């Protein structure tokens, strides 16, 4: 039923309903709005709808709200043993994972945690490092609790894909299966706190990387591998995969952009040093906007590392923007935009970002495009 909201306050009645009723509203993303509820136990409602709603969009949306709530509680350091939220999250995740049907794409989306950028939008002051850790902790807790079920579903999808033959298929079911399997691989690789776990996770990702017929599966496996570190065998698999991906690209610009991007987005403590080293790679040039975006701009959205304490990420960005401004003012102005939200990042980070912006503003010469963005950002 369509409800037309035309007044500040309206009441809608639905006669003939029996028992407890939970409305599923804004089905099919019928209105581009954010809904604020008034239920006494809103998280319980989210959990029920995330697991049972027949509308795929609402199932996803309620799951995102539920996951975000747990991540924010973790971020604030609340005692989760006294909260019902973990129980609701686990229940929703388990039911979603166990869904039968062929709508694999919706199932995949419903299992993914909200991105760090999405979560940051809900915060007045953002601590990217703490937010990254909180999201990672929630992800690890889910992965550990349901590791057996996740692996069983992963193996089931792998068998189904292998039995369908070597031909790369682009029908909705096949695309959905690949999406879901890659989400599950990401969860399985999150269990990596011991040498045995890291070896198992890297071996699984490497197996998918080597056996994949298409870019989607191979890139998903590479994205897991580039963030793995530790034992010699783990590092070896990562480096072999990176070299293989590069060699197989055979100079293809789009594939090489993905190769640079995967490394810029890696969750490694020395990722900034790796990005700096990649700027000296023969295939990298600041004069190519797409190549520049694939490495430099990608690093700027690797929030926890770009905003790491000390401000080295900001300094690197300003140095790079200064070079790009001489080649492509439109590109430099977009890159400089990564620093203009300094007021949202706390006193210390904000001061560091603002200081680097000021360096750009004082630069001589400076393009009109970059100066417009920087001067507006400093206000």
What's 66-117 look like in SS3? HHHHHHHHHHCCCCHHHCCHHHHHHHHHHHHHCCCCCCHHHHHHHHCCCCHH
Say which residues have a Cβ less than 8 Å from residue 157's Cβ, sequence separation at least 6: 177, 180, 181, 184
First to last CA, the chain: 48
- Rounded to the nearest 5 degrees, what angle is found at the Cα of 33, between the Cα atoms of 28 and 38? 100
Per residue of the chain (379 residues), give pLDDT as tens.
788 888 888 888 888 888 788 888 888 877 777 777 666 688 888 888 988 888 888 999 999 999 999 999 999 999 888 889 999 999 999 999 998 877 899 999 999 999 999 999 999 999 999 999 999 999 999 999 999 999 999 999 999 988 877 677 888 989 999 999 999 999 999 999 999 999 999 999 999 999 987 899 999 999 999 999 999 999 999 999 999 999 999 999 999 999 999 999 999 999 999 999 999 999 999 999 999 999 999 999 999 999 999 999 999 999 999 999 999 999 999 999 999 999 999 999 999 999 999 999 999 999 999 999 999 999 8
233 CB-contact burial (10 Å; exposed 0-12 / middle 13-18 / buried 19+): middle
Which alpha helices (H) appear in the chain, and where do they start and end?
42-52, 56-75, 85-97, 104-111, 116-120, 128-145, 147-163, 172-188, 195-211, 215-225, 232-249, 253-264, 271-278, 289-292, 298-300, 303-306, 312-325, 329-336, 346-361, 368-377
Distance CA 261, CA 294 (A): 5
Residue 118 contacts residue 296 (beta carbons within 8 Å): no
Considering the entire predicted model, what is its pTM? 0.92
Copy the structure tokens of residue 347. Answer: 């006193």
Distance CA 345, CA 126 (A): 5
pLDDT tens for residues 261-297? Answer: 999 999 999 999 999 999 999 999 999 999 999 999 9
- Rounded to the nearest 5 degrees, what angle is found at the Cα of 286, between the Cα atoms of 281 and 291? 75
Residue 377 contacts residue 342 (beta carbons within 8 Å): yes
DSSP H/E element including 298: helix 298-300
For helices 368-377 and 346-361, angle between their N-to-C axes, nearest 10 degrees: 150
Distance CA 71, CA 133 (A): 9
Taken in order 39, 42, 48, 54, the sign of the CA dihedral is positive
Q: How many residues does the chain have?
A: 379
- What is the chain's alpha carbon radius of gyration, rounded to the nearest angstrom? 23
pLDDT tens for residues 60-75? Answer: 999 999 999 999 999 9
Distance CA 201, CA 249 (A): 25
The reply to whether omega before 365 is within 30° of 0 (cis) is yes
Q: Which residue has the tokens 């706390």?
A: 346
Among the listed residues 189, 180, 119, 105, the one whose alpha carbon sits nearest the alpha carbon of residue 147: 189
Q: How far is CA 55 from CA 30, 67, 187, in A?
A: 11, 18, 25
Q: Which residue has the tokens 């990672």?
A: 136
How much of the chain is in helix, strand and coil states, percent to nearest 5? 65, 0, 35
Per DSSP, the three-state class of 280 is: coil
Distance CA 225, CA 319 (A): 29
Among the listed residues 50, 160, 162, the one whose alpha carbon sits nearest the alpha carbon of residue 106: 50
pLDDT tens for residues 77-107? Answer: 998 888 899 999 999 999 999 988 778 999 9
């Amino acid at each position: 039923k369509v409800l037309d909201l035309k007044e500040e306050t309206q009441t809608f009645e639905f006669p003939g309903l029996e028992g407890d009723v939970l409305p599923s509203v804004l089905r099919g993303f019928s209105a581009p709005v954010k809904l604020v509820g008034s239920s006494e136990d809103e998280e319980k409602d989210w959990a029920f709808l995330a697991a049972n709603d027949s509308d795929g969009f609402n199932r996803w949306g309620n799951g995102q709200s539920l996951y975000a709530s747990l991540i924010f509680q973790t971020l604030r350091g609340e005692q989760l043993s006294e909260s019902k939220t973990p129980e609701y999250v686990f229940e929703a995740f388990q039911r979603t994972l166990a869904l039968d049907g062929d709508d694999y794409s919706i199932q995949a989306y419903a299992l993914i945690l909200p991105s760090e950028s999405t979560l940051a939008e809900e915060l007045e002051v953002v601590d990217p490092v703490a937010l990254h850790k909180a999201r990672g902790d929630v992800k690890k807790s889910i992965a550990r609790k349901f590791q057996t079920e996740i692996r069983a579903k992963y193996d089931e999808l792998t068998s189904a894909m292998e039995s369908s033959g070597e031909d790369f298929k682009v029908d909705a079911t096949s695309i959905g299966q690949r999406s879901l399997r890659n989400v599950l691989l990401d969860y399985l690789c999150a269990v990596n706190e011991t040498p045995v776990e890291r070896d198992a996770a890297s071996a699984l990702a490497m197996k998918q990387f080597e056996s994949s017929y298409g870019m989607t599966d191979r890139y998903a496996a590479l994205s897991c591998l580039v963030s793995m570190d530790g034992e010699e065998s783990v590092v070896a698999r990562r480096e072999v995969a990176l070299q293989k991906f590069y060699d197989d690209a055979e100079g293809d610009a789009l594939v090489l952009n993905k190769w640079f991007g995967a490394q810029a987005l890696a969750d490694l403590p020395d990722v900034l040093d790796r990005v700096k080293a990649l700027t000296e790679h023969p295939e990298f040039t600041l004069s190519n906007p797409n190549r520049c975006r694939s490495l430099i701009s990608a690093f700027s959205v690797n929030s926890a590392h770009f905003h790491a304490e000390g401000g080295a990420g900001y300094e690197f960005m300003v140095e790079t923007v200064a070079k790009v401004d001489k080649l492509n003012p439109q590109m430099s102005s977009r890159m400089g935009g990564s620093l203009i939200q300094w007021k949202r990042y706390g006193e210390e980070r904000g001061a560091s970002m603002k200081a680097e912006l000021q360096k750009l503003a004082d630069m001589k010469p400076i393009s009109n495009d970059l100066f417009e963005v920087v001067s507006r950002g400093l206000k």
